[in-house]
Structure 1
Amino acid sequence: MANLALFDLDHTLIPTDSDHEWGRFMVKLGIVDAENFARENDRFYADYKAGKLDIHAYLVAMLTPLAKYSREQLKAWHDQYMHEVIKPAIIPAAMELVRKHRDAGDLCCVVTATNEFITAPIAEAFGVEKLIACEVETVDGHPASAYTGFPKGTPSYREGKIVRTEEWLASLGKTWSDFERSYFYSDSHNDIPLLEKVTDPIATNPDDTLRAHAQKHGWRILELFQPT
Structure 2
Amino acid sequence: MIARSSALAFTRPFYSGGLINRRSMIKSAYAQLLFTLSGADEDQVEKLRAHVTDMCRGWPVDQITSIVNETLHDIVEPLVFAEATELITNHQSRGHDVVLISASGMEMVEPIGAMLGVDAVRASRMAVVDGHYSGELEFYCYGEAKADAIRELAQERGYDLAECYAYSDSITDLPMLAAVGHPTAVNPNRALRKEAVDRGWPILSFDRPVGMGDRLTPSPRTVAVSAAAGAGVAAIGAAFYYGWLRNRLAHH
TM-score (norm 1): 0.75
2:185 alignment partner in structure 1: 203
1:21 alignment partner in structure 2: 9
Cα distance in structure 1, aligned partners of 2:175 and 2:129: 33
Cα distance in structure 2, aligned partners of 1:118 and 1:49: 18
Against the structure 1 CA distance between its residues 92 and 43, is the aligned structure 2 distance closer, same or farther, given a 3 Å change threshold?
Answer: closer
Q: Secondary structure at the match of 2:4?
A: coil
Check the 8 A contact 1:56/1:151 in 2, yes or no.
no
1:31 alignment partner in structure 2: 19
Check the 8 A contact 1:114/1:134 in 2, yes or no.
yes
Shift of 1:190: 1.1
1:160 alignment partner in structure 2: 145
Cα distance in structure 1, aligned partners of 2:18 and 2:132: 19
Against the structure 1 CA distance between its residues 184 and 113, is the aligned structure 2 distance closer, same or farther, given a 3 Å change threshold?
Answer: same
Q: CA RMSD, aligned part only?
A: 2.9
Cα distance in structure 2, aligned partners of 1:135 and 1:193: 20
Equivalent residue letter for 1:196: A
Equivalent residue letter for 1:201: P
Cα distance in structure 2, aligned partners of 1:220 and 1:100: 17
Stretch deviating more after TM superposition (23-32 or 83-92): 23-32
1:88 aligned to 2:78?
yes
Cα distance in structure 1, aligned partners of 2:209 and 2:126: 36
2:202 alignment partner in structure 1: 220
Instruction: For residues 201-223 of structure 1, give each alpha carbon's deviation from its aligned partner in whole angstroms, at most 9, with x where no partner exists.
Output: 11011122212221222110111
1:122 aligned to 2:112?
yes
Instruction: For residues 71-124 of structure 1, give each alpha carbon's deviation from its aligned partner in whole angstroms, at most 9, with x where no partner exists.
Output: 1x3333213431332012224332121122222222321111111011111111
1:9 alignment partner in structure 2: none
2:127 alignment partner in structure 1: 137
Check the 8 A contact 2:11/2:28 in 1, yes or no.
no
Q: Secondary structure at the match of 1:49?
A: coil
2:230 alignment partner in structure 1: none
Q: Secondary structure at the match of 1:137?
A: strand
Shift of 1:51: 1.3
Equivalent residue letter for 1:185: Y
Check the 8 A contact 1:23/1:38 in 2, yes or no.
no
Tell me which of 33, 40, 52 is aligned to 1:49. Answer: 40
Q: Secondary structure at the match of 2:69?
A: helix
Q: Which has the higher contact order (CA 8 A, sep 6+)?
A: 2
Structure 1 residues without counterparts, runs of 5 or longer: 1-12, 141-145
Which structure has the highest helix share of the two? 1
Instruction: For residues 44-63 of structure 1, give each alpha carbon's deviation from its aligned partner in whole angstroms, at most 9, with x where no partner exists.
Output: 86497341216763453243
Against the structure 1 CA distance between its residues 84 and 165, is the aligned structure 2 distance closer, same or farther, given a 3 Å change threshold?
Answer: same
Q: Secondary structure at the match of 2:7?
A: helix
Against the structure 1 CA distance between its residues 55 and 158, is the aligned structure 2 distance closer, same or farther, given a 3 Å change threshold?
Answer: farther
Instruction: For residues 183-214 of structure 1, give each alpha carbon's deviation from its aligned partner in whole angstroms, at most 9, with x where no partner exists.
Output: 11111111111111111111011122212221
TM-score (norm 2): 0.69
Q: How many residues align?
A: 205
Equivalent residue letter for 2:40: K
